[in-house]
Amino acid sequence: MTTLSHAQLAASIKQELIGTAPEAPAPTTATTHDQQHHHPAPTEPVNLVDLEERILQLCAESPKGITEDVIKCDQPLVDTARRMKALQRLLSQGKLDVLRSSSKQGSASILLYRLKSNSSASSITKGFEREERLVYQIIEDSGNKGIWTRDIRIKSNLSQTDVSKILKKLESKQLIKPVKSVQASKKRVYMLFDLTPDETLTGGAWYSDQEFESEFVEVLNQHCLKFLQQKAFKARASHSDPISQASASLCSTKEVCKYITELGISKVKLTVDDIRMILDTLIYDGKAEVQIMLSQQDRGGEGSDLQRLYRVTRAVLQDTGFSRIPCGVCPVINQCCDGGAVSPATCVYMKEWLTF
């Protein structure tokens, strides 16, 4: 289902006006039981205002939208020109949206008239041109994730020049704002001016001014590891049984999050999911491990049946000095010799290690 532009709407209405002859009064015939049940005897509206009110009432009864045939069936004594004039007035007043939807019979499309769901948007766009109202509605529907200029152009069926002019006008009125995405820093998405961008655009707590805060992540990494180490030390001091020590050293993400929050090292509010990301990096580095267990209130469960519990790992063997240099883990050390293709003098890994 797509929203129609001004040109598309005008062409559709013009086609209906040309291809449809004014309706003649229906002959007096016996109606079926279903017709009497669904459509009571119609009466012609006194004026155009009454017709508009009836159309709004029909749209309110069908939130997904109504076709012109529904209006025609409800008001058969109203001719096409008058019916279209009422629809045009409601559209220009911002009380209705017009959309194009595929018909059930095939690929042919039909027009749907839908009641405006947001009355505040109607007041904001009052006095706008139809193209401006259309672009504003598309941006509003995108929410706090925003929408690319290319997608606005495709959905509105407007040229790039027209879209750029409308965006500039709406931006100058502080109705919309451009937001840079960490996924594509050279591109901008547009959203309503008073919305807070989604974390998928800003990068969440790990980004500042589109730059990844690697130092901040490293500080959090160290403090999370310190908390796990303190938890394990207390477990060993209070329990003599190795199994009890391992169980007591487990801690939930919520416990670690509370610890980091109380430290006050973050200027932004960190969530449990943020801390879970940091703890997962400790697992990848081989410094911690995780166990999936049933949620327990004394563990600070996070509202689900299963929860992730973390604890620090202890290395079975201490690293030797040789294993810390590139030669200790080099896969081609057997081919390394002085003057050969692989040699200590030309080893790039050795040069990087010596610069630390």
For residue 279, the model assigns a pLDDT of: 93
- pLDDT digit of tens for each residue in the chain (356 aa)? 555 555 555 555 555 544 444 444 444 444 444 444 444 444 444 478 888 888 888 888 888 888 888 998 988 888 888 888 888 888 777 778 777 665 555 445 577 888 876 545 556 666 677 788 888 888 888 888 889 888 888 888 888 899 999 999 898 888 889 888 777 767 788 988 888 888 777 777 777 766 778 888 899 999 999 999 999 999 989 988 888 888 899 999 999 999 999 988 888 888 888 899 999 999 998 889 998 877 655 444 444 467 889 999 876 556 666 667 888 878 888 888 888 888 888 888 888 888 76
Taking alpha carbons only, the member of 57, 84, 52 closest to residue 68 is: 84
User: 89 and 46, same structural domain?
Assistant: yes
How far is it, in rounded angstroms, from Cα 282 to Cα 278?
Answer: 7
User: 260 and 155, same structural domain?
Assistant: no
Domain presence at residue 31:
no
The CATH number covering residue 238 comes to: 1.10.10
For residue 192, give both structure tokens.
């309503």
Domain presence at residue 125:
no
For residue 25, the model assigns a pLDDT of: 46
How far is it, in rounded angstroms, from Cα 291 to Cα 246?
Answer: 11
User: 10 and 97, same structural domain?
Assistant: yes
For residue 228, the model assigns a pLDDT of: 93
**Total H helices, total E strands in the chain:** 15, 11
User: 229 and 168, same structural domain?
Assistant: no
How far is it, in rounded angstroms, from Cα 41 to Cα 19?
Answer: 27
3 state SS of 186? strand
User: 240 and 175, same structural domain?
Assistant: no
User: 231 and 154, same structural domain?
Assistant: no
91 forms beta bridges with none
For residue 6, the model assigns a pLDDT of: 52
Domain presence at residue 285:
yes
CB atoms within 10 A of CB 290: 16
User: 17 and 112, same structural domain?
Assistant: yes
User: 83 and 10, same structural domain?
Assistant: yes
Domain presence at residue 227:
yes
Domain presence at residue 18:
yes
How far is it, in rounded angstroms, from Cα 138 to Cα 122?
Answer: 14
Domain presence at residue 184:
yes
Beta pairing class for 211-212 and 109-115: unpaired
| 8-state DSSP, 336 | B
User: 105 and 6, same structural domain?
Assistant: yes
Domain edge (last residue) among 169, 202, 235: 202
How far is it, in rounded angstroms, from Cα 117 to Cα 297?
Answer: 43
User: 258 and 335, same structural domain?
Assistant: no
For residue 138, the model assigns a pLDDT of: 87
Asked whether the CA dihedral 294, 298, 299, 305 is positive or negative, the reply is: positive
Question: Structural domain of residue 97, as residue ranges?
Answer: 2-25+39-117
How far is it, in rounded angstroms, from Cα 101 to Cα 3?
Answer: 9
Please tell me the total count of domains within the chain.
Answer: 4
Buried b (16+ CB within 10 A) or exposed e, 205-218: bbeeeeeebeebee
Measured between alpha carbons, how far is residue 263 from residues 212, 250, 302, 317 in Å? 22, 20, 21, 33
The CATH number covering residue 74 comes to: 1.10.10.10
3 state SS of 112? strand
User: 46 and 80, same structural domain?
Assistant: yes
* Claim: this prediction has a pTM higher than 0.85: no
Domain edge (last residue) among 174, 202, 230: 202
211 forms beta bridges with 208
User: 110 and 58, same structural domain?
Assistant: yes
